[in-house]
Amino acid sequence: MTMTTTPRELPHAPWGRVRQSRRTADRMMKITAAGFTFIAIFVLFWILGMLVVKGIGGLSLATFTAVTPGPGTEGGGLANAIVGSFVLTFLGIAIATPIGVLAGTWLAEYGRGSKLANIIRFINDILLSAPSILIGLFVYVILVEPFRGYSGWAGGVALGIIAIPVIVRTTEDMLNLVPGPLREAGAALGAPPSVVITSVTWRAAKAGMVTGILLALARIAGETAPLLFTALNNNFWFSPSLVGGVSNLPVTIYQFASAPYENWQQLAWAGSLIITVSILVLSLVARRIVAGGK
């Protein structure tokens, strides 16, 4: 018969010291984590507070109705930049959505664990973290330089390339969460895989897929670097053909904030506040859709 020794039977074992050291380490970890959390929240609210204080001062009716002013002039607004940003963002998400949804669907439904699917996932992860300025330079080489001019089409393509990896990853993840028995039930009724995907799988994952599209939309709404190489900017309304420079909020903010004119700087703060509020609204809508889909 073997005898076991419990910690209480070891008179010289420093169990009290071990417990005390563990409690101390736990407290120190909690204090450290709470401290860094407080620092992050403080910096975030500091930025948002400064943005609200300075941004509201530049908001007026003219901000949404007048075009951007010239150097050294007073008044003006951001109407052409706001509309231009809306057009470029819509064009980018219109390009990215079908590509991203279909690619994510293939990875989740057809590719699964194949080598090709793994390679595509790896490349998608690289694009997901790629600097946006490199994407802008790539589009500049293939769409701006050959046609000898900036255009809204090039800007939309650049934004679309940035949004595609987000939609691909979100779509694949959402479809992977759909229970397998739902697919099996559709197949048992004699439906081909394409019908099962469109009628069963997509419907079950539509809340998450729409959320991914909205997150991608928020991701590209404030991009500046790609537009500097593609759509550039101007102080007028854009041409319906989108050929030539297209005014947009990110580049306008960049130019106005670095200018020595007080009027331009106020409009830059106002434009920053508009973009921030827009992204906040999109994020809230995305969370609302996710909560409603559960």
Q: How far is CA 233 from the centre of its chain?
A: 22
| Token pair belonging to 247 | 């005014």
DSSP string spanning 50-111? HHHHHHHHT--HHHHHSPPPPTT-----SHHHHHHHHHHHHHHHHHHHHHHHHHHHIIIIII
**Domain around 207:** 83-248
Q: Identify the CATH number of the domain in which residue 129 sits.
A: 1.10.3720.10
Residue 259 lies in a domain: no
Residues contacting residue 254 through CB under 8 Å, at least 6 positions apart:
224, 228
Residue 155 lies in a domain: yes
pLDDT of residue 4: 52
How many CA atoms lie less than 13 Å away from 279 in the CB half-sphere? 16
The answer to whether position 127 is within a domain reads yes
In 237-254, which positions are buried (b, 16+ CB within 10 angstroms) versus exposed (e)? ebeeebeebbbbbbbbbb
Q: How many domains does the chain have?
A: 1
Cα–Cα distance, 207 to 199 (Å, whole number): 14
Q: What is the pLDDT of residue 286?
A: 81
- Check residue 1 and give its pLDDT: 45
Residue 126 domain-assigned?
Answer: yes
Please indicate, yes or no, if residue 232 is contained in any of the structural domains. Answer: yes
Given a cut of 70, the residues of the chain with pLDDT beneath it are: 1-16, 292-294
Let me know if residue 284 belongs to a domain: no
In a domain, residue 69? The reply is no
Whether 238 is covered by a domain: the verdict is: yes
Q: In whole angstroms, what is the distance from residue 117 CA to residue 95 CA?
A: 22
pTM for the whole thing?
0.85
What is the predicted pLDDT for the residue at 24?
A: 87
- Let me know: does 212 contact 190? Beta carbons within 8 Å: no
Q: What is the pLDDT of residue 207?
A: 87
